[in-house]
Every structure is written in C-alpha cells, then in structure tokens.
Amino acid sequence: MPAPAPIRWSPAARAVASVLIVGYLAAVVLPPLAGPPPASALAGWLLQPFRPLVGALCLGHGYRFFAPDPGPGHSIRWTVERADGTRLSGSLPDRAADRPRLLYHRRFMIAEKIAPLVPPADAPAEARRDARADWLPLVEGVAGQLLARHGGVRVQLQLVEHYLPTPEELIASEQGRGDGRDTMADIVTPLGTFALAGSVQP
C-alpha cells in the first residue's frame, strides 16, 4: 500500500469540513424521517431549512422499499382511436414490447405512481371527485404521450389493479378447486377518454 499522504488537514479545514458533513448528513436523514406518512411534525419542521439542499441534490427519498406491505401491481390499459377510425389497444407497461427490462421498469413506474392517487370505482363520489384533481393532470400527460406515439385522436384509459393471490388461492387455482366465483379478478377503474383537445368524462 502506498505511504499516507503527508499533508494533514488543519483544525480550521477540519471544522469547515465537519459543518459540511453534518449538513449533508442532515439532508440525507431528514427526508425519510419526515415522510412518507406516518411522520412527526418535528421531523417536518427540522427538514424545512434543508429543503433547498434536498431539492438541489435530489435527496428527497423515503427509502421504504416494499413497505409497509408489498401490494398488487398496476398497469394502464389503453385503446387509441385514429382519425381513420382504426383502433389500437395495449398496456402500459408492455412486458413484450418494453425492452430492455429497465425500460419496462421505468414505464411500469408510471402506473405504480398514479395508482395510489386513484380511488377505486366504488369509493364515495366525494372522495373520487376530490382525488381527481391530483391524478387527472398526470393521466392527461400519459394520454397525450400515447396519442403522440400511436398517431391517435382519442384514447381511452383504464387503471388495472392486478389481483395478488394468496398461496392458498394459487394452489387451489392450480388444482382446479376454485369456488366457482371469479375471486381472482383484476380491479379495473376507468380513467376517462381523452382527445387531442382535452379530456372527456369517463
């Protein structure tokens, strides 16, 4: 191993570096402490002066991978209508078309991040109306991109929550021991029909 560097840091240099180190570590620790919920008001208050640094260095992460529980996967089912009346259907993400796998995952995140914002179709009307302001602008962006990609004039979108079977349900299904009901069906929530000029209510 080479000999240690002869120049050691002066006390002043160490003091400045220590302040910077503490500041950086605060910007690393505080965002996951302050969110996602549940989180304390104190953590949120402490985070405030560090938010510019968190934003500049892109440190606003929660790090709660597969927490609190791994849930069902989602996709966005689309049907594009072209000016000549032809229709084209697909899914976002598309396991067959979205290759390499990293591209699939980047598109998969679109459905995964919009899904928590969309209440199920049987949720109270008021809750669905209030949530619409959060997810509609995002879905309009997705609709616009799909129309541009496929040369469409209208696109119909549905959010699909793919059923996550329990081990018992999977074994019963493999053995043909279902109870006759389609209990393993996906949950489909209409997102609306979107035209080039804007959106149409579902």
Q: Are the C-beta atoms of residues 76 and 165 closer than 8 Å to each other?
A: no
Q: Which of 41, 80, 87, 101 binds other proteins (CB under 8 A)?
A: 101
- Part in contact with other proteins (CB under 8 A); list of ranges 77-85, 121-129, 136-144, 188-196: 136-144
Please state, in angstroms and rounded to a whole number, the distance separating the CA atoms of residues 102 and 116: 22
Question: Closest approach of Cβ 69 to other proteins, in Å?
Answer: 4
Q: Which of 104, 132, 184, 190 binds other proteins (CB under 8 A)?
A: 104
Chain centre distance of CA 146 = 18
Question: Closest approach of Cβ 174 to other proteins, in Å?
Answer: 8
Asked whether position 144 contacts other proteins by CB under 8 A, the answer is yes
Site for other proteins in 113-132 (CB under 8 A): 113-114
Residue at 148: amino acid letter: A
Asked whether position 52 contacts other proteins by CB under 8 A, the answer is yes
Chain centre distance of CA 64 = 13
Chain centre distance of CA 137 = 14
